[in-house]
Amino acid sequence: MMRALRALLPLALLALASCAPMVMVAPGPAAVRDDFSVTVDSIWNRLTYPGIVFMAPGASEIWTAEGIPLDVLAFYIGVREGDALGRVLERGGKPLASYRAGMTPHEIVELYEQLVTQDGSAFTLGRLAPHRFGGADGFRFEYALTRKHDGLALSGVAYGAVIGKRLTLMAFTAPRMYYFAKYLPRVEAMAGTAQIKY
Amino acid sequence: MNGLSRALCGLAISLALALPAFAQGSRADGFTRLPPGAKVMLMPPDVELYAISAGGIPEPREDWTRAALQHIKELYRERKAKAKVEVVELPDDGDETIEELKRLHGAVTRAIALHQSGQFALPSKRGKLDWSLGPDVGVLRQKTAADYALFLHIRDSYATPERMLAVVVGALFRTIVMPGGRQEIAASLVDLKTGQVLWFHRLQRATGDLREREPARETLDSLLYDAETSQ
Amino acid sequence: MPPRFAHPDPASDEGGWWSQMDREEQRLRASGFLIRDKALNEMVSGIACRLAGAHCPDLRVYLVRTPLFNAMMAPNGMMQIWSGLLLRMTNEAQLAAVIGHEMGHYLERHSIDRIRSAKTATAVGHYLGLALGAVRSSNAGHFANAADIALIAGFLSYGRDQEREADRIGLNLMTQAGYAPLEASRVWEQMLEEVRADPMEGEDFWRASILFATHPPARERRETLAELAGSAGGRTGEAEYRAALAAQRPAFVSDELKRRKFLQTRVLFERLLKAVPDDGEIQYALGEAFRMRDGVGDAQSALDAYRKAQAMRGSPPELYRSMGLLERQRGQHAEARASFARYLELKPGASDAELVRRYMASE
pLDDT band at C202 (very low <50, low <70, confident <90, very high): low
Does residue B211 register a pLDDT over 80? no
Pick the CATH number of C248-362 from 1.25.40.10, 3.40.50.720, 1.20.1250.20, 3.30.1490.20: 1.25.40.10
Residues of A in contact with C34 (CB under 8 A): none
| C-alpha span between A110 and C292 (Å, rounded) | 9
Which pLDDT does position C284 carry in this prediction?
Answer: 98
Q: What is the mean pLDDT of residues A60-80?
A: 95
Does residue B117 register a pLDDT over 50? yes
Of the listed ranges A150-164, B60-74, B149-163, the one predicted with least confidence: B149-163
Interface residue A183 vs chain B (CB under 8 A): no
pLDDT band at C355 (very low <50, low <70, confident <90, very high): very high
Does residue C256 register a pLDDT over 60? yes
CB distance A150–B107 less than 8 Å? Answer: yes
Q: Decide if C179 contacts C234 (C-beta within 8 A).
A: yes
Q: What is the mean pLDDT of residues C55-63?
A: 95
Which residues, at least 6 apart from A184, have a Cβ–Cβ distance to it below 8 Å?
A157, A172
Q: What is the mean pLDDT of residues C341-355?
A: 96
| C-alpha span between C138 and A107 (Å, rounded) | 33
Q: What is the mean pLDDT of residues C308-329?
A: 96
User: Containing H/E element for C82?
Assistant: strand C78-82
Which pLDDT does position C24 carry in this prediction?
Answer: 76
CA nearest neighbour of C93 among C242, C269, C210: C242
Q: How many CB pairs under 8 A join B and C?
A: 59
Percent with pLDDT over 70 in chain A = 88
Interface residue B63 vs chain C (CB under 8 A): yes
| Domain edges within chain C | 13-229, 248-362
Minimum CA–CA partner of C353 in chain A: A129
Does residue C199 register a pLDDT over 90? no
- Residue B230 counted as domain residue: no
CB distance C258–A117 less than 8 Å? Answer: yes
A interface test, pick of B104, B119, B177, B178 with most A CB neighbours within 10 Å? B104
CB distance B99–C126 less than 8 Å? Answer: no
**Terminal Cα-to-Cα distance of chain C (whole angstroms):** 70
Task: Please give the DSSP secondary-structure letter assigned to residue C291.
Answer: H
Q: What is the mean pLDDT of residues A18-36?
A: 86
Residue B165: domain span: 3-224
Does residue A109 register a pLDDT over 60? yes
CB distance B58–C138 less than 8 Å? Answer: yes
Length of chain A, please? 198
Which pLDDT does position A150 carry in this prediction?
Answer: 84
pLDDT band at A82 (very low <50, low <70, confident <90, very high): very high
pLDDT band at B37 (very low <50, low <70, confident <90, very high): confident
Which pLDDT does position C193 carry in this prediction?
Answer: 85
pLDDT band at C290 (very low <50, low <70, confident <90, very high): very high
Does residue C140 register a pLDDT over 80? no
Prediction pTM value: 0.84
Does residue A1 register a pLDDT over 90? no
Identity (one letter) of the amino acid at B206? A
Which pLDDT does position B80 carry in this prediction?
Answer: 81
Please count the structural domains in chain B.
1
Selecting from B15, B107, B173 the residue whose C-beta is nearest the C-beta of A52 gives B173
| C-alpha span between B64 and B48 (Å, rounded) | 8
pLDDT band at C146 (very low <50, low <70, confident <90, very high): very low
Which pLDDT does position B11 carry in this prediction?
Answer: 57
Which pLDDT does position C86 carry in this prediction?
Answer: 97
CA nearest neighbour of C98 among C82, C113, C114: C82
Q: What is the mean pLDDT of residues C45-71?
A: 93
Selecting from B94, B102, B174 the residue whose C-beta is nearest the C-beta of C141 gives B174
Selecting from A16, A44, A178 the residue whose C-beta is nearest the C-beta of B136 gives A178
pLDDT in tens, C18-34: 777 787 788 788 888 89
Does residue C320 register a pLDDT over 70? yes
CB burial of residue B167 (10 Å; 0-12, 13-18, 19+)? buried
Q: Where are the alpha helices (DSSP H) in C66-177?
A: 83-88, 92-107, 110-117, 121-125, 146-156, 160-176
The angle, 0 to 180 degrees and rounded to 10, between the axes of the packed helices C13-29 and B62-82 is: 70
| Domain edges within chain A | 20-196
Q: What are phi and psi of A130, to 5 degrees?
A: -65, 150
Percent with pLDDT over 90 in chain B = 18
Minimum CA–CA partner of B107 in chain A: A69
Q: Decide if B180 contacts B167 (C-beta within 8 A).
A: yes
CATH number corresponding to A20-196: 3.40.1000.10
Which pLDDT does position C219 carry in this prediction?
Answer: 66
Mean per-residue pLDDT over chain B, rounded: 75
pLDDT in tens, C224-235: 888 878 777 899
Interface residue A45 vs chain B (CB under 8 A): yes
Minimum CA–CA partner of C17 in chain B: B62
User: A52 pairs with which residues across the strands?
Assistant: none
Which pLDDT does position A112 carry in this prediction?
Answer: 97
Q: Is A134 left (phi over 0), alpha (psi -120 to 50) or beta?
A: left
| C126 or C266, which is more confident | C266
Does residue C328 register a pLDDT over 90? yes
Q: Decide if C62 contacts C78 (C-beta within 8 A).
A: yes
Residues of C engaging B, defined by a Cβ cutoff of 8 Å: 16-17, 19-20, 23, 26, 29-30, 32, 121-122, 124-126, 128-130, 133, 137-141, 148, 151
CA distance A92 to chain C (A): 11
Minimum CA–CA partner of A54 in chain C: C141
Which pLDDT does position C221 carry in this prediction?
Answer: 72
Which pLDDT does position C323 carry in this prediction?
Answer: 97
- Residue B229 counted as domain residue: no
Coil/strand/helix, residue C216: coil
Does residue B170 register a pLDDT over 60? no
Which residues, at least 6 apart from C31, have a Cβ–Cβ distance to it below 8 Å?
A151, C64, C135, C136
> Other C-beta atoms within 10 Å of C259: how many?
17
- Residue B104 counted as domain residue: yes
Does residue C3 register a pLDDT over 50? yes
ipTM of the assembly?
0.88
Q: Decide if A176 contacts A116 (C-beta within 8 A).
A: no
Minimum CA–CA partner of C28 in chain A: A151
| C-alpha span between C53 and C60 (Å, rounded) | 14
pLDDT band at A141 (very low <50, low <70, confident <90, very high): very high
